[in-house]
Amino acid sequence: MIKRKFIPLLLLIIITIAGCKNSDDPVSPIPSEVGDDYVFKQNDLLGRGVNIGNALEAPTEGEWGVYIKEEYFALIKYAGFNSVRVPIKWSAHSLKLAPYTIDANFFSRIDWVIDQAAKYDLAIIINIHHFDEMMVTPAAQKERFLKLWEQIAERYKSQSNKVFFEILNEPNSAMTAPIWDQYYKEALTIIRKTNPIRTVLIGLSNWGGVSGLAGLTLPANENNVIVSFHYYNPFEFTHQGAEWVDGANAWLGRRWNGTTAEKNAVINDFNIMISWANAKKVPLNLGEFGSFSKADMDSRIRWTTFIASHAVASKISFHYWEFCSGFGIYDLNTYKFNDGLLKALIPSS
């Protein structure tokens, strides 16, 4: 009982300390123009990050067990992370017909989230996540998709350079590579009308994986985008026992031992991304990677350590999936980080 009463007090102390921003390190405003190296410096700001998942990408925040609190930003900062990625289901909070207005209260909630990231000096990515209708009938949802970005971009045009936009999470199904390649460019054009210097992340088709790279072309005359990819290989390991994946129970017990063959499979996948990015002179972000809690912890730590360390060595910013749910590094019941996973992501933590 004494320990459980003490933990909220400790969190309050962390919040108080972390919330006192260093006046010698202010958040930079958006510059008037950028050079070719600017976007790489922006990617450095993202650095090591974590997704605050299962919250705002649910139909209603809290429905999937996570309601974002200020203390989460304090804990993430205190643990040593540089940034957060916040998945957002805007489609659940906007009109389905023109003019596709986003609910004012929901906008205010996102304002608060962005303010908390700024308070704790964390860079933040906000995206459009789980736009399910878009994946089924892209053409029918295109106007809505573009109008959502028009509103989001207008709302946050004056935010600092530590606020990043990500156009769409994991295009898939009917949102094929050619369609995505066209639609993201149209969304980026809209964003640039109000946010000419905002750093924007572009994900890949085919659920964001490495295989989606083949269908991506970069826009002309654009030097402020980061290409983001997701990595959950081997899927039978990372998603074993996942209730939302058909047949996942058959994979229970799958281990990741860090053998030469297992590591080389990861290296080969990453090299595809790295070679392409080097040729295009564009930075990379690993927007999601993680292993579900039903895998054995030793394997999860080995896999996470290897992925994170290889990303850092390759100058790829990353965002672990995720903070405090089924893949999480923090336990909401015990008020504790999983030390093994946390140190896999931030060895100095």
Q: Which residues are catalytic?
A: 170, 288
Cα angle, residue 244 at apex, residues 239 and 245 outer, rounded to 5°: 50
Residue 124, amino acid:
I
Give the 3-state DSSP-derived string for 250-317, with helices as H, strands as E and coil as C: HHCCCCCCCCHHHHHHHHHHHHHHHHHHHHHCCCEEEEEECCCCCCCHHHHHHHHHHHHHHHHHCCCE
Tokens of 108: 């205010």
Pairing of strands 330-331, 336-337: antiparallel
Q: What does the radius of gyration of the chain's CA atoms come to, in whole angstroms?
A: 20
Are the C-beta atoms of 329 and 339 separated by less than 8 Å?
A: no
**Residue 330 DSSP label:** E
H helices of the chain, in order, are: 2-18, 38-46, 70-79, 104-119, 132-136, 138-155, 177-194, 235-238, 260-280, 297-313, 339-345
Q: What does the alpha-carbon distance between residue 257 and residue 262 come to, in Å, rounded to a whole number?
A: 8
Q: What does the alpha-carbon distance between residue 317 and residue 313 come to, in Å, rounded to a whole number?
A: 10
Q: How many residues does the chain have?
A: 349
